[in-house]
Structure 1
Amino acid sequence: MPTDAARAPMLILGSVVSVQFGQALGKGLIGEAGGPWSAVALRLSLAAAVLLVWRRPRLPAARGDRLLVLAFGTSIAGMNLVYPAMARLPLGVAVTLQLMGPLALALGSARRWREALWGVLAVAGVLLFAAPGRAGSLPLAGLAFALASAASMGTYLLLSRRVGARLPGGGPLALAVAWAAVLTVPCGLVEDGGARLGRPPVLAVALGVAVLSSVVPYSLELAALRRLPVRVAGVLQSLEPVVAGLAGLLLLDEWLTAAQWAAIGCIAAASAGAVATRRPEAAQP
């Protein structure tokens, strides 16, 4: 039987597969729900409901802790800008650009020129995606939403460290996801008027998306990071763009060009390299 330490990488890989296939289902949900904002509202509302019932959280007593949870939830809402990005871009492209947020954090702590070179590789990947004038160049609105989601993902990682250090248990995460739902539900109602949000088939798919892309990966990561160094987890999570590209191909019939696959490879390699070559003290939360 594998030890806890041996199982930890499998938990991270399970999280990566779960979240990206959940995102692929989420992209399919966009049309059924009436648009990307409606899909986000459904996903976060149902994820919040599951987490609130499961964790039964209490509001933090200190005002500063309550503000920290609100900021954490706001960053989660911002990460979901990947949905309007996915409405305009292939799944693998949107997720790869979203990875730029964690990559920027890793490069921001670089102290050696060799570490900074990973940034050059990442920029090369972005240019392969967004090179103007070539066939199949990507819409600027999609790129903007994906990069805004990347910035929110970087903020989420910083805030998650603070929340984990100051507030134990899974309750703060449940409260943060609930606040993210509060922020996004009005956008979904404005977009679709609520006409499709209550339909049972739509709710069933949305619940699957919420479980696969939020509840399961958060739980697996929480268990894994108790046994696995953060820098190792970061290397494993850099596989997300590749898994996203495969999920888009298998579930959405999205065929990426050779240049786009090369871009995914560049940014995934840059992310893995930036995390792997950081000094051990910088890699810890």
Structure 2
Amino acid sequence: MSAFPLRSLLHRFFPFLAVLGSVTALGIGTSWAKHWLFPVVGAQGTTAVRVGFSALLVLLLWRPWRWHLSRADARAVMLYGAALGGMNLMFYMSLRTLPFGLAVAIEFAGPLAVAIWSSRRAVDFVWVALAIAGLGMLLPLGLNGSTLDPVGVFYALGAAVFWGLYIVFGKRAGHLHAGHSVSLGLLVAALVVVPVGVVHAGAALLSPTVLLIGVAVAAVSSAIPISLEMMALKRLPKEAFGIMISMEPAVAALVAMALLGEHLSAVQWLAIGCIMAASMGSAMTAARPAAADRTVPQVA
């Protein structure tokens, strides 16, 4: 194969590879955090280290002080960042007792609900039914034999709510440069979660091992995914990006199986498949204005 067709092929598949790289890096970083940081500083301390260093890295990368920020935009960014912080904290709290892939699948109920609520067409009832079927196989409702920890599920649902709010508030700041809004949003998120981590973990957060792993987790699970998603968004229609990002629960489950030894049952894999199908279907049938709601880079 000559160099030109190879470059053409790579250019054609680059957006897919970028999204796959993004969700894989996110899964690897989160798995590292759960394996190495949870035993030392807990979920709260892990959230503080991860979001704190992510904010620092992205601030240094984008230098948001170069742009003007109006009072209205500052309020939108504060709400966006607060929702981002709450989403991260709730998600990591859920990982104490839930497998990574299942926590991600439950969390996907948030953006899916926002996308469907923005449309409310007849076809959306199909995606609602698929999502309910998937969640019904996972949630401990007393009828389906689910053995998932109710407290962990509660936190994952809390993360879903915050993810939905994050999308709504992120859209209000959507006219800002992505680097501007994301960097300031992460700063606000850090101001929300770092005090919680300090109260919970205390001086353990200053351990050289925790700091070193925290920087690695922040780079792999925030800086790299955000950068790859931005590159993919420049080359893809927003609805196509929404379809591709819907593979995140399956990728998270596979990464967790490889790195954490978390094996899921056939029913749990089926539940993940239903939620992914609902997310993909919603992205495929969304009207173009609504599709943008799904493309705010997520950092959980």
Distance 2:292 2:275 in 1: 22
Moved more, 4-13 or 34-43: 4-13
For 1:196-248, what per-residue CA distance to the aligned partner results, in whole angstroms no more than 9, with x for missing partners?
Answer: 21112222221121111111111111122122111111111110110111111
1:209 to 2:241 alignment: no
Indicate the residue corresponding to 2:136 in structure 1.
127
Which range is displaced more, 136-145 or 254-263? Answer: 136-145
Deviation larger for 237-246 or 216-225: 216-225
Please report how far the alpha carbon of residue 135 of structure 1 lies from its aligned counterpart in structure 2 after TM superposition: 5.4
Question: What is the distance in 2 between the residues matched to 1:247 and 1:95?
Answer: 12
Residue of 251, 256, 274 corresponding to 1:266:
274
Q: State the Cα distance separating 1:281 from its structure 2 match.
A: 4.4
| Partner in structure 1 of residue 110 of structure 2 | 101
Q: What is the rounded CA distance, in whole Å, between the counterparts of 1:122 and 1:262 in structure 2?
A: 11
1:222 paired with 2:230, answer yes
Going from structure 1 to structure 2, the CA distance change for 1:176 and 1:33 (only over 3 Å counts) comes to farther
Q: Is the 8 A contact 1:16 1:217 kept in 2?
A: yes
Deviation at 1:158, TM superposition (A): 2.6
1:157 correspondence with 2:183: no
Deviates more, 1:239-248 or 1:134-143: 134-143
The TM-score, its normalising length taken from structure 1, stands at 0.93
CA distance in 2, matches of 1:173, 1:25: 23
CA deviation after TM superposition for structure 1 residue 107, in Å: 1.3
Structure 1 residue 283, shift from structure 2 partner: 2.4
1:237 aligns with 2:248: no
Q: Is the 8 A contact 1:9 1:228 kept in 2?
A: no
Aligned to 2:151: 141
Query: How far did residue 5 of structure 1 move?
Result: 5.7
Over 3 Å counting, the alpha-carbon distance change for 1:87 and 1:223 in structure 2 is same
Maintained 8 Å contact 1:72/1:156:
yes
Mark the runs of 5 or more structure 2 residues left unpaired by the alignment. Answer: 1-6, 294-300
Q: Secondary structure in 2 aligned to 1:137?
A: coil
Residue 269 of structure 1 and its aligned partner are, at CA, apart by: 0.9
Taking a change above 3 Å as real, the CA distance of residues 55 and 145 of structure 1, as seen in their structure-2 partners, is same
Which whole-Å CA distance do the structure 2 matches of 1:8 and 1:134 have between them? 39
Distance 1:69 1:127 in 2: 34
- Counterpart of 1:84, as a letter, is M
1:122: how far off?
0.6
Range that drifts further, 85-94 or 104-113:
104-113
**Residues 184-204 of structure 1: per-residue CA shift (max 9 Å, x gap):** 11111111222x211122222
Q: Could you tell me whether the CA contact under 8 Å between 1:12 and 1:221 is conserved in 2?
A: yes
**1:170 aligned onto 2:158:** no
* Alignment match of 1:51 (pick from 31, 52, 58): 58
Between the aligned partners of 2:235 and 2:103, the Cα distance in structure 1 is: 30
Query: Which SS does the other structure have where 1:113 is aligned?
Result: coil
Aligned to 1:28: 35
The Cα offsets for residues 7-39 of structure 1, whole Å up to 9 and x where unpaired, read as 222212211111122111121134343210000
Whether 1:256 aligns to 2:264 is yes
| CA 1:77–1:50: 2 relative to 1, 3 Å | same
TM alignment of 1:73-92, pairs within 5 A: 73-80=81-88, 81-92=90-101
Query: Gaps (5+ residues) in structure 1?
Result: none
Aligned residues: 283
Distance between the aligned counterparts of 1:182 and 1:168, measured in 2? 21
Q: Deviations over 1:22-76 (max 9, x none)?
A: 1111211343432100000000111111112121221744111111111111111
Q: Residue in 1 aligned with 2:297?
A: none
Letter in 2 for 1:21: I
Q: Indicate how the Cα distance of structure 1 residues 169 and 261 shifts in structure 2: closer, same or farther if over 3 A, else same.
A: closer
**Amino acid corresponding to residue 73 of structure 2 in structure 1:** D
Q: Secondary structure at the match of 1:193?
A: helix
Q: CA RMSD in A?
A: 1.9
Q: Contact (CA 8 Å) 1:32, 1:202: kept in 2 or not?
A: no
Q: What is the rounded CA distance, in whole Å, between the counterparts of 1:169 and 1:132 in structure 2?
A: 43
